[in-house]
Structure 1
């Protein structure tokens, strides 16, 4: 099912992609047949199909599910049940998703074979980039890659993010050195569990090898911008290390020290002075070109929620192309950008038909959100509404990969080799066209997510619960929260959540004063953070990739003014409800013009690595 090819042979790789995309229908049928044949005897499939492997029977009997439907099976495996309740192949690890269920990380099953599939997918990127960017074999990539904490499971299976899994695998560590995967960062610095030491050492190695760097990047735009901000704070110390040829004493990870010492071999005062001159300027506009002058592009994901970082990336990059190469998740690796140098707003991903079996739930377009006016939540005619919770899509609306229609919106449903069957990923995609017989998709949004800064995915329900928990702190002081909304502020790094609150007094001035209210509002900020999910709290406390939550209090009548603005832009007065997330700049100006005070969380929220053993006992 996985063809062999040499990724450094551009013509061979491009030819393989043409073959895969030209015969998508047949490949998809073969993928489904192989998955069903392999896993027919699993408890899950046998319960629906009684050992049959017929495609039509699969579509008729196996339901479309979400995480809560399969959670008992996943938790069973984590607690020591045999893998064949869902997968004929042994489950070798559980991949923790950026989404959560009940406040805890979602976990997806994975097998050793899946690492072969990921490696095949990564190799497909090489001929595409070589086609559009010449000379990539003449230098290195300064890609800033990091691992994250693992979760312990009662049965001893590792549970970890998908990229951590890959970087720790022999597929990554024993990778062949082709034009695409020669990095300035030694593997030891990537695999360092202390993120600060890892960041410092990777940047130091990238600066020392600056003349060899042809491309820079990280997986997500947010991570790359954190690295630039880290460089802003630490360039003097980095230059000192380069000038003296000595690594800072606080780098205590022995593997990092040994690996970096092979690169930091001797003092280089000329290089140190060059870097100091560029970093010492008052403006860091174009700093990437200045520090790494041979760089051809910046590779980061800038689609979906990461699109909010495009303006600041463009400032730092000095006009370098921003390249989003692929679309993947913990559940499955999906698609590749066949035109990597296209404008970020035009990025479409072509789904690779042998990576899994793909189906799609048609998302109906509501008249109000699909019009051409810029509404108060920033949505335009390209953005569909969330599914109606009272009338969710059914299996009758499911279509195959090759049967989607250009211009329609769909929710992705995937069946994998690892034990996911008709699983709703939660991503909303729009069909933009076809490459041969295979559709191409623009990533629109994650279903129901209203706030995201890094890998956090806060839904409207998550936000509502957190706000309701926090507002109770005001009631003893005689204040009531009357309305609220939010937006993700990424104007600085790291970005942070901003809540707009309109509060009113019960007219009991004897109960409180300004100082009491300020303390209470700061506690409200902290309480919101404490009430948000595991991933948010990890990003905030462990990764420091999200800044302190802010509440901006607006004067009374502000949300009436917001409604007036939305109605003036075409919202229906009969259907209007306060948007819980604001993306329209004009709507933000309505709120900002009425801010009377602002408050920040003064404490970090509680977070510790999630331990399934303690949570399941």
Structure 2
């Protein structure tokens, strides 16, 4: 992987041109490198017997899911030699945000992943500067955060990709160019407390509000979270700016010392008054541009499950372009948005052929044969496979992508979904199968209280921040006569369901990226009424599935049960401590 951090804009442009004109050759050369380096690994020996031939790779090597290769990955994670899957030493593992099967899903990585991440970031900088005129004249207010890492039994760190990048020499020794000039000190990005970090990010950004030309977070959901912190904290932020001193509750020494230097103990009465005047307005529409008037773009991944946050961000950002920057996962970096000023809903990513070897399974039509990156067809949809230099070979990543065009000869893809995902708020991915498992566990609690579950449906509610899962239940007593609902029973149902959902969901709950799961009990006959309404509008009785018509369901709610667990409780793995039930309403409405 070439390092282009210190290339000038013309040189970076030539790199992008070369990559996108020579897709087939670069991909073939990369596959040859991967197979030659790793032909002696235990995993590849089983299928290729030491060969590095592409033809044998295509013929003999199976297409796999995480479940298929988990035994090999676990052996390395437990301390056996990396040579089981990779000649290059495995240095750490990622917690995959695509987890949906319940068990913690960890994926191997090494310096080659980091090379690809740094390369993509540098190339993205070139593209943004080319399209967003004047962005290089200021600083970025980027809400980078470092999560808590854990260890595998073999002592390898388990962390997310952005945390690894922030801790790396790439970031520590980054060039002093506009793209790496931030309003926040590094200590804020490397802090261990998310609440403190976000507050300090905002404080530093507000003090330097006239220098900010770009605002960003990894995901669109992260930007919505930032706005919520701003809504909750703007008065305190103004107080800190007015006094020139940081709030006492910021206890992380790195954050405290570095942000205090930004404040400098200097009272800024005029600046505080300006910010207070803006935030005191009744409407916060366009608030981002009002607070940071030089802002030229907002950067955040806003495709896939993150698309649901685009309307909210557009409300707060006004006419500032929302740039969906990069396409990546725990399995690989994939590509960048080479048309950053397009509308978020039209975002496609140009895959970089030098990072991983990509293959594609057609989702419809054709004979189902796997095709290479250079052979995909315009308008067709595919399942994406990855082979890389850190131990994954022909791995399904779960994404469905569609070819929308080409940048020279490099295909551009729109992410149109993930296989089997039913609910998603942040980086969680809950499938219908796994939600059913959680409901069935809660069903046992109902049955022990002489209640039975008639029907249910669900949706991801993002009307408030953080969003949360809402589960609609129609229940009956065993005597068929509905009595007053017992709060304790439904509290236990909420608890059991959350305790059943997967590690990624629990991580998001512990860090308040997702709010507490909510059960709403609807009137007797509600789901039958929904079915009758659907059929009356032409739906087939044999193919009917419950509509997610929230206005109909909410108007038929008997009670809403909200389970509230503290951050500390959810920081304890599957802790079963005291929790609080908040009964939001008791009422009976009949509309059918």
TM-score by length of 1: 0.89
Query: Which residue of the partner structure matches residue 237 of structure 1?
Result: 236
Matched, 1:561 2:523: no
Change (3 A) 1:476 1:105: closer
Give the conservation status (yes or no) of the 8 Å contact 1:126–1:179: no
Structure 1 residue 534 displacement after superposition? 1.4
- Provide the rounded CA distance (Å) in 2 between the counterparts of 1:289 and 1:608: 36
SS in 2 for 1:433: strand
Structure 1 residue 519 displacement after superposition? 2.9
- Provide the rounded CA distance (Å) in 2 between the counterparts of 1:234 and 1:133: 31
Matched, 1:399 2:408: no
- Provide the rounded CA distance (Å) in 2 between the counterparts of 1:294 and 1:564: 54
- Provide the rounded CA distance (Å) in 2 between the counterparts of 1:504 and 1:98: 37
- Provide the rounded CA distance (Å) in 1 between the counterparts of 2:256 and 2:570: 29
Structure 1 residue 478 displacement after superposition? 2.6
Give the conservation status (yes or no) of the 8 Å contact 1:96–1:161: yes
Give the conservation status (yes or no) of the 8 Å contact 1:144–1:218: yes
Query: Which residue of the partner structure matches residue 538 of structure 1?
Result: 507
- Provide the rounded CA distance (Å) in 2 between the counterparts of 1:93 and 1:114: 10
Query: Which residue of the partner structure matches residue 551 of structure 2?
Result: 589
Change (3 A) 1:475 1:301: same
Give the conservation status (yes or no) of the 8 Å contact 2:100–2:431: no
- Provide the rounded CA distance (Å) in 2 between the counterparts of 1:336 and 1:490: 27
- Provide the rounded CA distance (Å) in 2 between the counterparts of 1:362 and 1:517: 50
Structure 1 residue 223 displacement after superposition? 1.1
Query: Which residue of the partner structure matches residue 262 of structure 1?
Result: 261
Give the conservation status (yes or no) of the 8 Å contact 2:42–2:84: yes
- Provide the rounded CA distance (Å) in 2 between the counterparts of 1:549 and 1:424: 30
Give the conservation status (yes or no) of the 8 Å contact 1:140–1:184: yes
- Provide the rounded CA distance (Å) in 2 between the counterparts of 1:529 and 1:572: 34
Structure 1 residue 480 displacement after superposition? 1.2
Q: Which runs of 5+ in 2 are unaligned?
A: 575-592
Map Cα deviations across residues 283-340 of structure 1 (whole Å, 9 max, x no partner).
2111111110111111111111111111111111122111101100111000111111
Query: Which residue of the partner structure matches residue 312 of structure 1?
Result: 312
Query: Which residue of the partner structure matches residue 401 of structure 2?
Result: 429
Structure 1 residue 525 displacement after superposition? 1.9
- Provide the rounded CA distance (Å) in 2 between the counterparts of 1:56 and 1:292: 55
Q: Which runs of 5+ in 1 are unaligned?
A: 366-392, 612-617
Query: Which residue of the partner structure matches residue 111 of structure 1?
Result: 110
SS in 2 for 1:481: strand
**Which of 600-609 and 481-490 deviates more?**
600-609
Structure 1 residue 438 displacement after superposition? 1.6
- Provide the rounded CA distance (Å) in 2 between the counterparts of 1:533 and 1:182: 37
Query: Which residue of the partner structure matches residue 89 of structure 1?
Result: 88
SS in 2 for 1:105: coil
Map Cα deviations across residues 202-233 of structure 1 (whole Å, 9 max, x no partner).
11111101010001120111111111111111
Change (3 A) 1:226 1:573: same
Structure 1 residue 449 displacement after superposition? 1.0
Query: Which residue of the partner structure matches residue 521 of structure 1?
Result: 490
- Provide the rounded CA distance (Å) in 1 between the counterparts of 2:401 and 2:457: 26
Query: Which residue of the partner structure matches residue 603 of structure 1?
Result: 565
Structure 1 residue 602 displacement after superposition? 3.5
Equivalence map 1:75-154=2 (5 Å): 75-100=74-99, 103-154=102-153
Query: Which residue of the partner structure matches residue 303 of structure 1?
Result: 303
Matched, 1:489 2:461: yes
Query: Which residue of the partner structure matches residue 174 of structure 2?
Result: 175
- Provide the rounded CA distance (Å) in 1 between the counterparts of 2:185 and 2:572: 27
SS in 2 for 1:544: coil
Structure 1 residue 569 displacement after superposition? 6.2
Give the conservation status (yes or no) of the 8 Å contact 2:5–2:174: no
Of 453, 460, 465, the residue aligned with 2:437 is 465
Map Cα deviations across residues 444-480 of structure 1 (whole Å, 9 max, x no partner).
1121111111111111111001111112222233321
Give the conservation status (yes or no) of the 8 Å contact 1:415–1:421: yes
What do you get for the CA RMSD once the two structures are aligned?
2.1
Give the conservation status (yes or no) of the 8 Å contact 1:242–1:268: yes
Query: Which residue of the partner structure matches residue 387 of structure 1?
Result: none
- Provide the rounded CA distance (Å) in 2 between the counterparts of 1:536 and 1:274: 40
- Provide the rounded CA distance (Å) in 2 between the counterparts of 1:151 and 1:562: 46
- Provide the rounded CA distance (Å) in 2 between the counterparts of 1:502 and 1:81: 50
Query: Which residue of the partner structure matches residue 276 of structure 1?
Result: 276
- Provide the rounded CA distance (Å) in 2 between the counterparts of 1:531 and 1:537: 9
Change (3 A) 1:214 1:558: same
Give the conservation status (yes or no) of the 8 Å contact 1:6–1:12: no
TM-score by length of 2: 0.92
Change (3 A) 1:196 1:207: same
- Provide the rounded CA distance (Å) in 1 between the counterparts of 2:283 and 2:216: 21
SS in 2 for 1:599: strand
Map Cα deviations across residues 70-113 of structure 1 (whole Å, 9 max, x no partner).
11111111111001111011111111111337533311111123
